[in-house]
Amino acid sequence: MHLSNDILLAAIEQQLPGVVLSHEESYGMLTLETTREQIIPILEFVKNDANLQVNFLTSLCGIHYPDQPGRELGVVYHLQSMRNNFRFRIKIFFSIDDPIVPTATTVWLAANWMERETYDFYGVLFTGHPNLKRILNVDDLDVFPMRKEYKLEDGTRTDKDDRFFGRDGHEGQLLE
Amino acid sequence: MADKSVEMPEGYGGEGFFATSLAQAVGKARANSLWPLPFATSCCGIEFMATMGANYDLSRFGMERLSFSPRQADLLMVMGTIAKKMGPVLKQVYTQMAEPKWVIAVGACASSGGIFDTYSVLQGIDKVIPVDVYVPGCPPRPEQIIDGIMKIQELVRNEPARRRYSAEYQHLMEKYQIG
């Protein structure tokens, strides 16, 4: 069956009216936004529907926008229908003070590791996850490294001389 | 044809005997028959594979037999980026090696974290284990790796017999909390 952005939107709207808060097309790919309360019903619907046949959760990741108060943290789901050769993405946003999202492992098993990675790097807590602990970082790390307030560079270096990295107090000034 | 055998140590010889110091004889034997443990993680591991290949050939130095079991290896060659999560594993492998053991850090990442100055990369393996020779490079060419190996051979050849029992060595091991 030929799937397109409009057909998918119409099917979701018909089954779950009002869950899609907004949608846009970036470079032709459909991006839906919804809430964390509605994300599991949407995922279950698109997976189980006989026409849509969205059978593949390509990716699940987090994102942090510190400049959006109340919507700082987000989780992005990339979905794919192999049968119909169609991809789209769903985003949910929530406050950084309350980073609780229902787990997608009940719908797709692939979400298991990807949610662990999102927890490891952004601190998003997935309720109902069978084993939510750090996956890529050391187990006793006490920060969430991909949040924007955390610096990329290793903070424990003792031998680094900032002058050799262009940080000698003259950043931003033109050479004389 | 040039004589390809190893140089004779200093000593006094006669008909049917040769007297030299034990450290010299053992040192020469060890230096020319090191069994390396290639702890190859990334790109430097590929350069090591080239070094072991026919063109650059580490077997010339007696390192024909690689060992992936630390119990049977003399030289731990750490080649590649070591993440902080890998640090305890590397330390465990080093601890399992029997004395005498030497460590060569090949490449910028093993020596100092290299280009990856991030929260997840160990900034040099000398944060967890003592290192004898560092080979800088990203990646170092096989010739440079061979140069590092030859420096290790020199260390092995000239090692005092009781070095591993000395107070200085014990202090070094305590500093790294090994053993």
Q: What pLDDT score does A124 carry? A: 94
B84 at A interface, C-beta within 8 A:
yes
Mean pLDDT over each residue of chain A, to the nearest integer: 89
Question: Cβ contacts (< 8 Å) between A150 and chain B: which residues?
Answer: 119
Chain A residue with Cα closest to B85: A138
**Buried residues in A128-145 as b, exposed as e (16+ CB within 10 A):** ebeebebbebeeeeeebb
CB-nearest to B119 from A145, A159, A160 is: A145
Does position B45 have pLDDT exceeding 90, yes or no? yes
CB-nearest to A152 from B112, B113, B118 is: B118
Q: How far is CA A98 from CA A106, A126, A151, B40, B127, in A?
A: 22, 11, 23, 42, 37
B91 at A interface, C-beta within 8 A:
no
| Percent over 90 (pLDDT), chain B | 82
Predicted ipTM of the assembly: 0.77
Average pLDDT over residues B77-83: 95
To the nearest whole Å, the CA of B9 is away from the closest chain A CA by 42
Q: How many CB pairs under 8 A join A and B?
A: 30
To the nearest whole Å, the CA of B126 is away from the closest chain A CA by 13
- Report the predicted TM-score, pTM, of the whole model to 2 decimal places: 0.84
Contact at CB, A155 and B119, closer than 8 angstroms: yes
C-alpha span between B90 and B84 (Å, rounded): 10
Report chain B's C-alpha Rg in angstroms.
17
Question: Cβ contacts (< 8 Å) between A159 and chain B: which residues?
Answer: 112
Does position B131 have pLDDT exceeding 90, yes or no? yes
Contact at CB, B118 and A154, closer than 8 angstroms: yes
Contact at CB, B85 and A154, closer than 8 angstroms: no
Contacts of A154 (CB under 8 A, 6+ apart): B113, B117, B118, B119, B121, B123
On the 0-12 / 13-18 / 19+ scale of CB atoms within 10 A, B58 is buried
Task: Domains for chain B: give ranges and CATH numbers.
Answer: 35-175 (3.40.50.12280)
Contact at CB, B84 and A138, closer than 8 angstroms: yes
- For A87-133, the pLDDT digits (tens) are 999 999 999 999 999 999 999 999 999 999 999 999 999 999 999 99
Q: What pLDDT score does B6 carry? A: 81
Average pLDDT over residues A51-66: 93
Q: How confident is the model at residue B129 (pLDDT cuts 50, 70, 90)?
A: very high
Contact at CB, B121 and A138, closer than 8 angstroms: no
Question: Hey, of A116, A120, A154, A159, which one would you mutate to test binding to chain B, going by the most B CBs within 10 A of its CB?
Answer: A154
Task: Domains for chain A: give ranges and CATH numbers.
Answer: 5-153 (3.30.460.80)
Q: How far is CA B111 from CA A160, B79, B134, B143, in A?
A: 14, 9, 6, 18
Chain A residue with Cα closest to B123: A157
